[in-house]
Amino acid sequence: MMFKSLGTNFRFLLLSSGFSNLADGVAGFAFTWLFSLITRDAQLIALALALGSLPHLIFILFAGVISDKFNRKKILITSRLLQALLIGFVTVTIYYFKNQIPNVVSVGSEPEFQGKFFLIIFFYIISFVFGILEVTRDNTSQSFLPQIVKKESLSDANGKLFGVEITFNSFLGAPLAGFLIGVSLYTPFVGVAALLILSVFYVSKITGNFEPEDSSLDRKTSEMIKEGFSWMSKQVLIKRLAIFTGVANFIGSMSFPVMILFAQEILLLNSVQFGFLTYGAAAGGVLGSLVAKQIHEKIGEGNGISFAVFLFCVGCAIFYFTSSAWIFAFGFFLISFGSVMWNVLAVSIRQEIIPDKLLGRVNSVYRLLALGSVPIGALLGGSIVKYSEYFLTREFALRLPFLIESICMMVLFVLSISLLTQKLIDNTRQEK
C-alpha cells in the first residue's frame, strides 16, 4: 500500500533499482577485496577506484546529452546489459587466474604471482569502462524518475529509492559478497551478472512513451551541453548545491582506498566480518531515507542539509580515533544517514526545479561538479597514506585521511549554514 500512490511504473523501477543496487553492492565489495589481494599498495588501490570514478569527470556531460537525446528507458536497459557483459569478462579472467591469486594475504606482505601486471591493467580498464556505463545509467535514472512520478511526490519517491539503494547495496550486498568470496573469488561476479539481468527485466516492464519531447537527434552535442551549462549558470541554488556536494565528495573520497586496508590491518577483519561491518552504513542509510522527508518538513530543507554535513564530520572523527569495529560501524551509520538525507533533499530539489527537457544535461553538469573531484580525492588519499609512511607509522598513516576529512567537513558545515539557507531554496522555487 505504501507504494500504491506512486504507481505501478514506480514499483517496477523500485524493483529494478533493488536488483541493480544489490549488484553494485556485491561488485563494489568484491572488486575492492580482490584488488587488496593483488597488492597492499594504497596508491595502486586508489588508482583502481579513481579510474572507476574518472568518467564522472570526463564523460558525464556526454551522458547528460544521451539522457536528453534518447529514450531513457532504453538507455537504462542497454547500460545494464553491457555492465553484465563486462562482469562476464571479469568472471572468466578470475577463473583463469584463480590458482595465482591468494585467497588470504598476511598483513604486511606483498602478494607475488605470475601475471600480476596483466591483472592490474585488466582491472584498471574494466573499472574505467564500468564507470562510463554507471555514469550513463545513474544520470539517466535520476532524469527518468520525473517521467513516471508526479513532481509533488518526488521527495517521497526519492526517499524510497535511496532506502532501497542502501538496503540492497549495503545491508545485503556487502555481507553477501563477503560470503561469496569465501566460496571462491569469482562466485560474487557470477551473481552480479545475474542480478543485472533481473534489473533489466523489471525496467522492461515499465510502460509509457519515454521518447524525448522534441526531436534532438540532429542537434550538435556541443550545443546541447552549452544549453545545460547556460541554464545552470543562472541558478544560484543549484550551483551552490553542486559545489558543496563536489567539495564533500572530494573530501570523503580520500578515505575510499584506505577503508579496506584499515579494516584488514587495524580492525583485523576478514571479508565476512567487514561485510557485516557495513551494516552500520546500511542502517544509517535506511533511517535517513525514511526520515529525510519528515526532517525537512520539521526543520526545513536548508537546516536539514547543514545537519547532514555535520553528521559526516562526526563520523569521520570517529573513524580517526577508534580501533573498535563496533564504534567504526557507528561512524558508518552517521555518515550514511547524513549522505542519504543530503541526497534525498538535493536530488528532489533539482528534479522539481529543472525543466524535464533539460534534466539530463543539467543533471550532468551538476554531477560533473559534484562527482568530478572523486578520482582526484581518491588518488590524494592513497598518496597521503603511501608517502606519510616514510615519516609516520603505518597505523597513523592509515588514520590520517580520516582526520583531514573531519576537519574539512567541519569547515563545510559552517559555510553551509549561511550559503544554503531555506530562504534561498524558497526564493528559487518562486522564481521557477
Looking at the predicted structure, is the pLDDT value of residue 218 above 70?
A: no
Residue type, 130: F
Looking at the predicted structure, is the pLDDT value of residue 113 above 50?
A: no
Which residues of 92-193 form beta strands (DSSP E)? none
Mean pLDDT within 197-224 = 79
Ranges 299-303, 408-412, 427-431, most confident: 408-412
Mean pLDDT within 113-139 = 82
Cα separation, 174 vs 5, whole angstroms: 31
Higher-pLDDT residue of 118 and 75 is: 75
Which pLDDT does position 5 carry in this prediction? Answer: 61
Which pLDDT does position 4 carry in this prediction? Answer: 53
Which pLDDT does position 358 carry in this prediction? Answer: 80
| CB distance 378 to 254 below 8 Å | yes
Q: Domains in the chain and their CATH numbers? A: 15-205+223-431 (1.20.1250.20)
Residue the block writes with cell 536497459: 77
Residue the block writes with cell 580515533: 321
> Percent of the chain scored above 70 by pLDDT?
93
Looking at the predicted structure, is the pLDDT value of residue 109 above 80?
A: no
Residue the block writes with cell 559478497: 177
pLDDT digit string, tens, across residues 248-294: 989 988 887 788 889 888 998 887 787 777 777 778 877 887 787 78
pLDDT digit string, tens, across residues 390-406: 888 989 999 999 999 99
Question: What's the whole-number average pLDDT of the chain?
Answer: 84
Res. 1 pLDDT band, cuts 50 70 90 = very low
